[in-house]
Structure 1
Amino acid sequence: MAKSKTQDPNHTTLDGEAALDSYVIGHSDPEPEYLYRLWRATNVHMLHGRMASGHLQGRLLKMLVQMVRPKRVIEVGTFSGYSALCMAEGLDPEGHLWTFEINDEQEDFTRPWIEQSPWADKVTFIIGDAATEAQKVGEMFDMAFIDGNKRTYIETYEALLPLMSPGAFILADNTLWDGHVIDPEYQRDRQTQGIRAFNDHIATDNRVTRVILPLRDGLTIIRKNQ
């Protein structure tokens, strides 16, 4: 079935989904100028630039941090640093975020953007595998954002859960994987397999409560039980 057509305020024809996206963005908080420049640079200079969280999810991450008010946050999968900076923006003055990126080729792009940002003093950027390196930070975390290798989401989750405080929140990105999780044509795709296995794992884990939000590519909010 074809999507309905509509007009945006500038009279540009958009399909219904794009018009609704535009409406949502227009009625949400604006993207800070520094983050907009980072998003643009990510899409110009990096492969798979759409992996960056972007305006809407970035504002949600900031809002969730402001709601939960975590003192210690860990992120798995820094990419260009966009999501880390959004969460750092929402932290209280005493809060801090550690972000891990396993791909050392990202460092030359990402580190300057983090260290020159308005929130640089709240972020520690580490090149390494969070599943093995996070415990070396020596902290218990109040919030985590998992956005790394989709094939190893379960392993990452299991490594982080013991480091999370009672009542802590874990956010897992891309858990609908562009709808591939319910598409039989992607049955053999390893990333899809990893996300499906993770979703099934979380759904039956009595250590946590959970809900999947159909935002962008799917965002699962997980709360560790007391």
Structure 2
Amino acid sequence: MDFLPPKIDAYVVAHSQEEPELLQQLSKETWQKVLAPRMLSGHLQGRVLSMLSKLIQPKCILEIGTYTGYSALCLVEGLVSEGVLHTIYINEELHDLQRKYFDASSYGSQIVQHTGDAREIIPELELEIDLVFIDADKCNYPKYLELLLPKLKSGAVILSDNVLWSGKVVKEVKEEDTDTKALLTYNHMLNNHPKLETVMLPIRDGLTITRVR
């Protein structure tokens, strides 16, 4: 869901950095061949991710939720020359598509794919993480934060996608809606944890920027 009026959204996109050609190709193939293409980060959010990564200049990025690899290719633009991006996806069905575009970029050797449940993979990663992007199953956002915090040093940044969840976070929550309940818990955790400072932005479906104190 987009919260900006269409004309304002179009103006913002027109006055932001152009979408790289490789990402245009990936976006097109995703919409043509992959289920749920709206999960794609898209032009504006992709450029926001790229800009934030360039400002942070991370040595190590962890992405939870690869999908077709669009957001990874945006984030990796800010890596230092010897940096590495680790990205986790729950199953193998999109592995080859992800790798095709990773290798078509100039960052292929800097992107490491992990397949499986992030709740099991994160504890096994011995990394000093500078930047995290979470865009996966919403019901596990609180668990991911719990697993990540011990691995994040002061100054590390967490980017969290879909935190407004099509506006459901401000509506009455149905008993069976576990995703919205989890996001409400997660948003509260980010804003109230003593180790974290957070700002929430109404970009696309909501993007939170959190810094570890």
Q: TM-score, normalised to structure 1's length?
A: 0.88
Contact 1:211 1:221 in 2 (8 A): yes
DSSP 3-state at the match of 2:82: coil
Provide the residue aligned with 2:158 in structure 1: 170
Q: CA deviation at 1:184?
A: 1.2
Write the mapping of 1:26-41 to structure 2, written as runs, cut at 5 A. Answer: 26-41=14-29
> Pairwise CA RMSD of aligned residues?
1.5
Q: Distance in 2 between matches of 1:163 and 1:51?
A: 27
How far apart, CA to CA, are the structure 2 residues paired with 1:133 and 1:41? 28
Distance 2:87 2:175 in 1: 31
Inter-partner Cα distance in structure 2 for 1:124 and 1:190: 31
Residue 46 (structure 1) aligns with: 34
Q: Tell me which residue corresponds to 1:198.
A: 186
Equivalent residue letter for 2:49: L
Is structure 2 residue 96 aligned with structure 1 residue 108?
yes
- Higher relative contact order at CA 8 Å, sep ≥6: structure 1 or structure 2? 2
Shift in Å, 1:185: 5.5
Identity of aligned residues (%): 40
Gaps of 5+ in 1: 1-15
Residue 179 of structure 1 pairs with residue 159 of structure 2: no
Q: Which moved more, 1:36-45 or 1:130-139?
A: 130-139
Deviates more, 1:78-87 or 1:105-114: 105-114
Find the structure with the greater CA-based Rg: 1
Q: TM-score, normalised on structure 2?
A: 0.93
User: What is the CA distance between 1:119 and its match in structure 2?
Assistant: 1.8
The aligned counterpart of 2:141 is 153
The 1:66–1:179 alpha-carbon spacing in structure 2 relative to 1, beyond 3 Å, is same
Contact 1:53 1:83 in 2 (8 A): yes
Deviation, 1:136, is 2.9
